[in-house]
Structure 1
Amino acid sequence: MDIKDHIRGIPDFPKPGILFYDISTLLRHGAAWRTAMARLADVIRPHKPDMLAGIESRGFLVAAPLALELGLGFVMLRKPRKLPGLTIGLNYALEYGTDRIEMQADAVQKGNRVVVLDDLLATGGTLAAGISLLRQAGAEVPCAATLIELSFLGGRKRLDVPFESLVQYDS
């Protein structure tokens, strides 16, 4: 099954000139979604993770069911002030401005192997920040993965871990 057949492009969303890759069509097709999760599990399993981390919000849709499938714990990497209790965070640069990502301070233990996931890799800033935040908490990050990669934006060059994606768009 070609996963790409179940991802639709929506032009001019969220603003003119942007082509948004919508995974809702993949999510609502049971067989395609199961195939995507199985393929990601095959990519991640050799890295022997203890946990998976998902980046808000569509990364949750990828990482949580995959953690369940692999029998692993799940960690949320969220926007500021969305998590209860003590949190740690990291500010990072975007193409135009800055953003912040946070996690609960006790979400991972020193030495945990945590694979970080999101739905899409574009320029790589958010995924790189997630990797850095997990390391700040003492985790090892053996790899990162996404459903979709916009390879023409070169985001994987910003990552210092092995990276896998199921679907690539070259333009």
Structure 2
Amino acid sequence: MRLQAMAVKARKCQAFRSKRRCKRRQSIQDLRARDWAEHPTLTGRLAAVIALGELAIHHQDIVRGLGLDGEPPPAVPSYILWVGALLSSHSNLRVWRYRVVPTDGHPPLGVPQALRPPEVLGTREALGMWLAGRDAAAGELHFTSSPPTGDGGRDPASEQGVSR
């Protein structure tokens, strides 16, 4: 009888110790998570900007595809423009062939004005969508001169019926 009581007591003690170790391990993980949240790394911040921009572009794909019109929150068009420029620098290279001039208060992107490149003007949202390869947004843009023939000789503005 006494042996059984000692075995039960040993099991309870062992369970208590492992529970305490588990709590200690959890509290260390919580501290690390809090520290990471309070002091994010540069790569973490850049990843957040890219993720928000990608999400905003896909959201606009759906909204525009359904024919709905909504005003995004104030910071969202900047994310769309940044991610559009990033995607364009690797895929369709529009950001390297045009001077992208937002009409809603963001500094211009792309080729320096001293090189006299063709300019494309529009809202940050429309420019970002166009840079990301969504040619349907070209209807909302204004092209100031004939674009270079880097898109296989085609002009996205003339395809969409946009006046120059």
- TM-score, normalised via structure 1 length: 0.25
**Bigger RCO of structures 1 and 2 (CA < 8 A, at least 6 apart):** 1
* Structure with more helix by fraction: 2
- TM-score, normalised via structure 2 length: 0.26
* Structure with more strand by fraction: 1
